[in-house]
Amino acid sequence: KAGVTQTPRYLIKTRGQQVTLSCSPISGHRSVSWYQQTPGQGLQFLFEYFSETQRNKGNFPGRFSGRQFSNSRSEMNVSTLELGDSALYLCASSSQGPGSEQYFGPGTRLTVT
Amino acid sequence: QQQVKQSPQSLIVQKGGISIINCAYENTAFDYFPWYQQFPGKGPALLIAIRPDVSEKKEGRFTISFNKSAKQFSLHIMDSQPGDSATYFCAASPNAGNMLTFGGGTRLMVKP
């Protein structure tokens, strides 16, 4: 089976712009979670989608949003970018319900200038 | 606050030695505890995971020890190899969803 894929892999944006990142989960997986990884804050949970519904949300401002499509693919959007949004954004997929194994994609490296 | 505390931050081990990384948590709602390995430029890769109904789980050279009463768990890497040099993260998740809370990470270097 193909793994989790994320596009684009690298992105450079300017402060104030918005960005959309895409994630395709492992075939058959219905849960997609998003995480932000930075040197200062480490790995932090953003949100989880299951069957097109947001099931859980982390402690991030409303500028961070996401959605999931009927084929389980997911997108996350960050509006009004700030310098502090520069990070590696990771997507993880899992097959079952809560507490199941999560498999991560390679991430999208976002740089905000 | 839901936290997972991981130690040490960095670890140097000789080839063939045992690497030990420890994690502690406070939230008793956590019931799934995975360990991830991350190489530079890559996403975290699931190594091994445990649930609170067992005290130890072994897969190859990797063993998780779990102490429910102390709310601690640890990763042991036996016969450590230079290829094991990476950053290791412990994590925890409640049964209510797939929202992992990660430890701060341990940078492991295995010297040949």
A49-91: per-residue pLDDT in tens? Answer: 998 999 889 999 999 999 999 999 999 999 999 999 999 999 9
Residue A4's closest chain B neighbor by CA?
B43
pLDDT at position B2:
59
> Which residue from A107, A48, A29, A97 is spatially nearest to B101, judged by alpha carbons?
A48
Q: What percent of chain B has pLDDT over 90?
A: 86
pLDDT at position B9:
97
CB contact under 8 A, A104 and B95: no
Is the pLDDT at B63 greater than 80, yes or no?
A: yes
**CA–CA distance, B68 with B72 (Å, rounded to integer):** 7
Is the pLDDT at B42 greater than 80, yes or no?
A: yes
Lookup result for tokens 């996401």: A66
pLDDT at position A14:
98
Token readout for B112 is 């040949």
Q: Which residues from chain B sit within 8 angstroms of residue A101, using beta carbons?
A: 34, 46, 49
Q: Is the peptide bond before A39 cis (omega within 30 degrees of 0)?
A: no
